[in-house]
Amino acid sequence: MTAISREGARRRTFAVISHPDAGKSTMTEALALHASAISEAGAVHGKAGRRGVTSDWMELERSRGISITSAALRLDYRDHVFNLVDTPGHADFSEDTYRVLAAVDCAVMLIDAAKGMEPQTMKLFEVCRHRRIPVITFVNKWDRPGRDALELLDEIEERTGLRPTPVTWPIGMPGDFHGVVDRLRGRASRYTRTPGGATKALESELTAERAQAELGRAWQQAVEEIGLLDAIGADHDQKTFEAHESTPVLFGAALSNFGVARLLDALVELAPAPAPRPDVAGVARPLDAPFSGLVFKVQANMDPAHRDRIAFVRVCSGRFERGMVLTHAATGRPFATKYAHAVFGQERTTLDEAYPGDVVGLVNATALRPGDTLYDGPAVAFPPIPSFAPEHFAVARARSSGKAKQFRRGIDQLDAEGVIQVLRSDLRGDQAPVLAAVGPMQFEVIQHRLAAEFGAEITLDRLEYTLARRTDPASAEAVARQRGAEVLTRSRDQALLALFTDRWRMRSIAADHPGLTLEPLIADTTREH
């Protein structure tokens, strides 16, 4: 095994996915706490007393108490390097989550013990299914009232098609949580909460005799249910897990830090290490090939003091060395990497080297966009990351004509980051671009960031369109003449997009004009078109 392969084997690159309010940011913070990356978790009881969690660095995230942008956290645990890529917690930002999932090798699917499989969880799971990303399931909030554990396993299997194989099993019903039985290790642990859940929960090993004496019926029920799991063969199998056919299941409570350390251990022991990644031709690039990396996220102004732009790059092969000059596959131009950082939320440290699975933050990466490939040595390009079809549209204008320059600069920046899709037409001009969003909260983020980062307050006039399709010049001419339709040019790639008020109007126009080119904007089955 080469040095690069050995280093790659120590990496675990994963994302946490969930429905909003399932506890994703709290779990991210708890993982950082148990990996000793922070001394106190940022999430405490109630949003009124909540300190900003490490991964929620944007002011709007802190004020709203939700994650609306992805963030990278680098953690060290048990001689392994974890690259935890946090994802937005709101469905309106699912496109950002889609990009993140292009860069990970495993996903932790967080489920609320009371609510089970929720709609946004299923949408994100479908992305994992499409990309064949192995999924570890963590049933969260077991310290609160919830549903029966066996019932939740049935729902997981019914909704996802994956066979649930519990690694741990709870002692006690939801809301009366005492600890877990570790089915892989053959032992039981009891948890004791610390004040506010700000520090690691105390964990003590239980013998069967002590558990029976102290926990009584709760212990007896856990033993009976584990006997049922044993009888049906619901045991972890690494091959079916990595083949996306089964999912290891753990139980706990992120807010109380119950079961979090066991999840970290499961990531070390079960989650796959980086593997060769197929290029656009379907040829897998070996881990020990010269450096290659995929840009999956671009973010500006994370540090208000510097106002720079950082591109998050997943190392796919080779050894990254700060200062190396790479080739930008999209343009063929050289790209210098003098300013390379490891990122922990909003904090950064200089990164001198990185290996497959690592996430490198490249500063002042003005030429890079999500989906771009960087490489050294033989040319390579990884498959691009497609855009979701927008469903909400609004015309943006600067409130003050004196801020026109800042307005245009801000719009261009946010377009380059992929925060929003910017559409333009000769009719409206550059002073009134059309912003296209997957969800309406994206408009709120745009307004906030333009005002806070560029000093340009804007007005938004909503348009009645709800559907977009890619078209060509010949079809565009015909569509543009129709009522309830408009054709605009997408700034990032100059694609022609036909907008329609609704699906019925699109079908009516297509029926009246056979042969029109009207193609969906994303070529997979993760969303309806």
Angle at which helices 24-34 and 260-269 pack, to 10 degrees?
80
- φ, ψ for residue 402 (rounded to 5)? -70, -10
The residue whose two tokens read 């007896």 is: 220
CA angle 414/349/415 to nearest 5° reads 5
Tokens of 277: 């990644």
- For residue 361, what are the CA distances in angstroms to 185, 190, 191, 352? 38, 40, 37, 11
What's 262's DSSP letter? H
Closest CA to 417 of 391, 454, 470, 468: 454
Tokens of 231: 């009888």
Q: What is the rounded distance in angstroms from the CA atom of residue 519 to the CA atom of residue 492? A: 18
Outline where 161-313 has alpha helix (H): 208-215, 217-232, 238-242, 260-269
87: annotated binding-site residue? yes
88: annotated binding-site residue? yes
Tokens of 8: 């790659």
Give kind and range of the element (H or E) at residue 426.
none
Length of the chain: 529
Do 113 and 141 form a contact (C-beta atoms < 8 A)? yes
Contacts with 333 (C-beta within 8 Å, 6 or more apart), sequence order:
327, 367
Closest CA to 281 of 377, 383, 373: 383
Contacts with 468 (C-beta within 8 Å, 6 or more apart), sequence order:
389, 390, 391, 436, 497, 498, 499, 500, 521
Q: What is the rounded distance in angstroms from the CA atom of residue 394 to the CA atom of residue 422? A: 10
Provide Rg for the chain, Cα atoms. Answer: 24
Single-letter residue type at 352: D
Outline where 389-502 has alpha helix (H): 404-417, 441-454, 473-480
Could you write out the DSSP letters of every residue in 15-52?
A: EEE--TTSSHHHHHHHHHHHTTS-SS-S--SSGGGPPP
Could you write out the DSSP letters of every residue in 454-481?
A: H---EEEEE-S--EEEEE-HHHHHHHHT
Single-letter residue type at 56: D
Q: What is the rounded distance in angstroms from the CA atom of residue 456 to the CA atom of residue 449? A: 9
- For residue 438, what are the CA distances in angstroms to 18, 129, 251, 393? 18, 21, 33, 9
86: annotated binding-site residue? yes
Annotated binding site for GTP: 86-90
Annotated binding site: 86-90
